[in-house]
Amino acid sequence: MRHALGIALLLALLTAAPAGGYAPTSVSPDPWATVNVCDTTEHPNQMGIRGGMPGLARRTAMHMRFRVQFRDRSGRWRLIARGADSGRQRVAAGRRGEHDAGWTFEFMPPASGGAYVLRGVVVFEWRRGRRVLERVREVTEAGHPGTAGAEPEDFSAATCEIA
């Protein structure tokens, strides 16, 4: 009986605490990323990427890193080597709820005509000091209207074409 109670308690603890110290909030269980600006009149040749992540309490810092990929001629996605990496950006520290941030990149249109097809990649990190508790990578997707800085107001896309 005592052994069965110990196993039941252990199982309850394991199911209550997610691995890696990442505890999503009820506001948004998963990180997300979207293109919220794409070559508009007010932002010509620019692509804006926005991401959202759940926060943790107790000495945890949340970071995002925004990068851009292009679709090559074979249809594969490749990272742009220069000028398309925000570096790690601190978004919030020690606060529950959802936290969002964004980054805008500018590109020269192709000199030969046509268009670049681009998408964003956001790496989300939850850190305690120098220790990474959890790291998640998401590519941009549609379906996140109303993000801060979106143009037009409810724009949300998976990709962006710079022509």
Q: Are 139 and 119 in contact (CB under 8 A)?
A: yes
Q: What pLDDT does residue 139 have?
A: 98
Q: Tell me which residue of 160, 119, 163, 111 sits closest to 138, measured CA to CA.
A: 119
**For residue range 15-36, what is the model confidence (pLDDT) as tens digits?**
333 333 334 333 346 999 999 9
Q: What pLDDT does residue 88 have?
A: 97
Q: Which residues pair with 123 in a beta bridge?
A: 65, 137
Check whether 8 has a pLDDT greater than 90: no
Q: What pLDDT does residue 40 have?
A: 97
Residue 7 lies in a domain: no
Q: Domain count of the chain?
A: 1
Residue 146 lies in a domain: yes
Domain hosting 107: range is 23-162
**For residue range 36-52, what is the model confidence (pLDDT) as tens digits?**
999 999 999 999 999 99
The predicted model scores a pTM of 0.81
Q: What pLDDT does residue 29 have?
A: 61
Q: Which helix (H) or strand (E) holds 2?
A: helix 2-16
Q: Which helix (H) or strand (E) holds 38?
A: strand 32-38
Residue 2 lies in a domain: no
Res. 119 pLDDT band, cuts 50 70 90:
very high
Residue 104 lies in a domain: yes
Residue 1 lies in a domain: no
Residue 5 lies in a domain: no
Residue 15 lies in a domain: no
The better pLDDT of the pair 56, 136 is held by 136
Residue 12 lies in a domain: no
Residue 50 burial by CB count (10 A; 0-12/13-18/19+): exposed, middle or buried?
buried
In this structure, what token pair is assigned to residue 61?
């810092």
CATH of the domain at 68: 2.60.40.10
